[in-house]
Amino acid sequence: MKTELSNEFYPLLAGYYDESDFEAYRAMWIAFRELPIFSRNLLTSSELPIALQALSERFHLDQSTTAFVSVMTRKIIFQEWNEEQSRAELTAWCQEFDSKNISRLEEIFTAVKNDILTITPKEEAEEEKKHLIARMTLLEALAQYPQLGQQTITETRIKLKASVELVRGSLINWLKCYREELGVGYHDAMLRGQFLFRSQNGIKLTDEEHGRIEILLRSLEDRETVEIDTEHQVLIFPPYIGPKNSQPEQQKQAETFITGAPLASNVPPVSLPANEESKSVSPHEIPGKESSNQVPNETGSLHVLNKGAQFSPVHQTIGTLHFSSKHVLPVEKKIQSERKVQSSSEEPNTQNVSLSTLSRSSDDVPVVSQNSKVNMVTPSMSDIPHPAPAPKRIFNLSYIPKPYRIDPIKREQPEKE
């Protein structure tokens, strides 16, 4: 911390000037601007008044003698007095105003020559930067700069257990939230990662805010140093390189998991075949109430149905089943095979019956060979195969069964009426 000194310790301010003699004062500053850069830095450095104060305390100089030594230093740097003239002026001053230091004139002049004129001033910019930026751990910084805890770390507000409403994302509030979630003690990188990306407050942060909280937690747990602006009492974070996303990806995934359905942008568009798009639909085939094309099942996924596969009451036959896929039940396969066998057995019998009928129509005279006996075969009704009678059912013309779907992947029982 800098200490303000009186004017006698500053060579450019020491001495007594007549306020009306403005030209003499102006001439001194014109001569100052003509000096080399090293001499100007020496006269305006902070080390020079401190060295003059130490010299005054060493030889017990009064205020007037201290001011004369400062003026002598300025005239030597301005090259207005040489070494011999400086000794003579100092001797004359002590003889007239400070007689107790006459015996120590040589020591005083040697101290000015060796301790004052040999000062090398430091660069002021580097010194100021060193004082403005300090590196220390987070706990040390909070103890030394209490205002640091009010710095805003995240724009996202956070929820604390001790508070009913959301609070500001300041440094001290994030430390409270961290202690509430994980407790007091050391926590490794895995636990810190779970707090950052899976906790109620951490899942809402952006990538830039995640990086800031990670720096704070590393300094808190692993005692890594952080940069502190001591003048403004704020943390200095490294510049963030990356896109500034308004909503983190973890929050989008959480919303998808809660709803059980993908986002609208992830659902592929459904395109109908060309033959179905150009197919005309009669007015009586249009259902009375339009139903949704997207039907969720138990797992939450969506099945997109084709409009051409929907059933209308006109095309349904009472007592039959309809499926939206080409899947055939074993019972249907058995019925189809029996019908094929019956149709194949009916063709030759029908041909024999027609031939016998034609032979009887010509005067009922059978045509036989001379060497064979005549055996008249009269076909009976029992020889002609008949299809199995259909089971008796009570038909209700107003009953229309509801169509249902069969998923080839998942077997399930049809919905009962």
The tens-digit pLDDT sequence of the chain (417 residues) is 456 788 888 888 887 555 556 777 788 888 888 888 888 888 888 889 999 999 989 888 888 888 899 989 988 998 888 989 988 998 898 888 888 888 888 899 999 989 888 888 876 545 555 568 889 999 999 999 888 889 999 998 999 988 888 999 999 999 999 988 888 888 888 998 889 898 988 888 999 999 999 999 999 899 999 999 888 888 988 888 776 554 545 454 544 444 444 444 454 555 544 444 444 444 444 454 444 444 444 444 444 444 444 444 444 445 555 555 566 777 778 888 888 777 776 555 544 444 444 444 444 444 444 444 445 555 555 566 667 776 666 656 666 666 666 666 655 555 554
Q: Is 169 helix (H, G, I), strand (E, B) or coil?
A: strand
Could you tell me whether strands 226-229 and 302-304 are parallel, antiparallel, or unpaired per DSSP bridges?
A: unpaired
Same domain as 187, residue 161: yes
**Any domain includes 50:** yes
For the chain, the C-alpha Rg in angstroms (whole number) is: 54
Structural domain range at position 90: 7-116
Distance CA 179, CA 187 (A): 10
**Any domain includes 96:** yes
pTM of the predicted model as reported, rounded to 2 decimal places: 0.34
Same domain as 209, residue 172: yes
Same domain as 166, residue 104: no
Nearest to 198 by CA among 259, 258, 248: 248
Four-CA torsion 106, 111, 117, 123, nearest 10 degrees: -170
Q: What is the pLDDT of residue 301?
A: 42
Q: In this structure, is the dihedral angle defined by the CA atoms of residues 79, 85, 87 and 88, taken in order, positive or negative?
A: negative
Same domain as 140, residue 62: no
**Any domain includes 123:** no
**Any domain includes 144:** yes
Alpha-helical (H) ranges within 36-185 are 37-44, 47-59, 63-77, 83-97, 105-111, 124-132, 138-144, 171-182
Same domain as 68, residue 147: no
- How many domains does the chain divide into? 2
**Any domain includes 151:** yes
Same domain as 53, residue 17: yes
The domain boundary residue, chosen from 116, 138, 158: 116
The domain boundary residue, chosen from 204, 236, 268: 236
Q: What is the pLDDT of residue 121?
A: 80
**Any domain includes 253:** no
**Any domain includes 315:** no
Q: What is the pLDDT of residue 335?
A: 83
Per-residue tokens: 48: 């020079």
Q: What is the pLDDT of residue 137?
A: 92
Same domain as 144, residue 87: no
Q: What is the pLDDT of residue 289?
A: 45
Q: What is the pLDDT of residue 308?
A: 45
Q: What is the pLDDT of residue 291?
A: 43
Same domain as 223, residue 154: yes
Check if the beta carbon of residue 281 is closer than 8 Å to that of residue 234.
no
Same domain as 81, residue 140: no
**Any domain includes 375:** no
